[in-house]
Structure 1
Amino acid sequence: MTAPVGEDDLTAWVDDRLAVERRPVVERYLADHPHIAARLRQQQNQRSALRSLFAPIAAEPLPATMRIEAIAASQRGTRPAWFQAVAAALLLAVGFGGGWGVRTRTLPPQAGIGALAREAGYSYRVYASDAQRPAEMGAGEKQQLVSWASRRIGSKVAVPDLAAAGYRFAGGRLVATPHGPALLLLYDGAARARLAVLSRPMDIDKDASMVSTRDDDVQQVSWADRGIGFSVVAPSATTGLQPIAAAIRVQAAAI
C-alpha cells in the first residue's frame, strides 16, 4: 500500500532530494492540488535565488585561520593529543553535517499541523493583544459570524462553548493564512486571560492527533479531524490547555 504524501515528501521535493520511488506519487498529488504545487515551485525559486546570491561566497577559499591545521597548531602544546583528535573530528562533523542539520531545525514548517500551529501563534499575537477591537464580530453576532465563516472557509463551523472551563466567547474574525482564510475565535477568561481557537481546511495532515507546542510566549494544542485543522492558543503560563482542546475537539466532531 502506497503511503500518503506528507510534509517530508513535499520538503524533499522542493530540495530535489525526493526518493525515486516516491516521485511519481508526489507528482500525482501535486497535479491534483495545483495550489500546493504553485506554492512549492515558489519555494524552489526562492531557494535557487538564495543559492545564486551566495554562490560567490561559497566559492571563496576557507580562511587560513579556520583550517583544521591552523586550529590544531594553535592548540598544540596546550591540549593533550586525545583532545586535539576529538576536536578535529567534531570540526569535520560540523563541516559536513552542520549546514543541513541547522536547516532542519530552523526552517519553519510550510504545511500540515506544524504550519497550522505557527499561523495560530501569529494570529494570536496580532489580535488577542488588541484591547480595543480584537474581534471583527462580537459575541452578540455569533450566528452571523458562523454563517459568514462557513461560506468563506467552505466548511461548516461552530463556536465551541468553553464556559465550563471558565472562558467566555468574546467574538471572532477571519484571518489570512498562506493556505487560505481561517476562522479565529477569541475567548476571555479570568484575570484578563485570553484564549484563541484557529481553524481552517488542511491540505495535508487531514486527520492528525493532538500535538502540544510552545513558541516563546505562547503555547498551542493542534490537531485535525475530517480535513479541518484546529489550534488552541494561549499564553505560555496558561495551565490546563490540553483538556480545553479535548473539549473543543468533542464539540467540533458533533457538527
Structure 2
Amino acid sequence: MTPHAVSDTAALTGRSLKHITRSLDTIITTTIMPIAFLLLFVFVFGGAIDVGTAEYVDYLLPGILVITVASGVSYTAYRLFMDLKGGMVERFQSMPIARSAVLWAHVLTSMVALAISLFVVLVAAFAMGFRPHASLAGWLGVTGILAVFSLAMTWLAIIPGLLASTPDGASAFAYPLILLPFISSAFVPTETMPTPVRVFAENQPVTSIVDALRSLLAGQPVGGDIWVALAWCVGLLVVAYVAATAAYRRELS
C-alpha cells in the first residue's frame, strides 16, 4: 500500500469511526446477544451440562467470543451497503482517493468495533465468574487468533455488503455464522453428539478455533489445535479477501 493510499485509508477510517461514536447503539446491539447467550447458558443450562472439572463459564466463553465476532461483522456489511447505495462510494471514486482506501476503511473500523465488543463480553464474563489461567504468551495467542479470525470474518462481510440488493440481505449473511458455533464444541463436548453431527462438528473451523482458545485461556497445552485454528483463519482470510476485492472491482466497473 502506497503512502497516499495509507493517508486516504486513515482519513476514511476516521470518518467511519465518527459514525460509530455517534451511534454507540450499534456496538451495544452486537454485544447484547452474546452476553444474553452467556447469561442463559451459564445460569440456566450450565448446571445440566457436564464439561468435566472446568467451570461452565470458562468452557463456554471461547464460543461466545466467536459469536461476538460473527454478530458484529453483520454491521460491517450493512455500513458498506449503505455507503454503496447512498452514493458515497461513487463520490469517493470521483475524488483523488485510492480505490483500496474505501474497503480498508470499513475493515479497520470493523476491527475497532469488534475489539470493543470483545472487551465488553470479556468484562461480563469476569463478572459471571470467568477465571482464566493463561500466561502472557497464552493471552497473546488468544489475541492473535481472535484478530486473524475477526479480520477474516470482516473481509467475508465485505462480499454481501457489495453484492446484496437490500440492507437486510447485507446483514443476514451473519446468521449462519452465528448458528455454526452451536454445531461445534462451543457449548457441549462433541462426544455427546450423534455420530453424523459429531463428525461435522469436529471437522468444521469453529471447533478448532474454540478448542485452541479454550486451552490457551485455561493455561493448558494447546498442541496442534492452535495451528489448525490458525490455518482455518488464514485460509478463510485469503479466500474472503480475494473474493471481496474481485467483487469490489466488478462493482466499480
The TM-score with structure 1 as length reference comes to 0.25
CA radius of gyration, larger in: 1
Higher relative contact order (CA 8 A, sep 6+): 2
- When you count helix as a share of all residues, which structure comes out higher? 2
- When you count strand as a share of all residues, which structure comes out higher? 1
The TM-score with structure 2 as length reference comes to 0.25
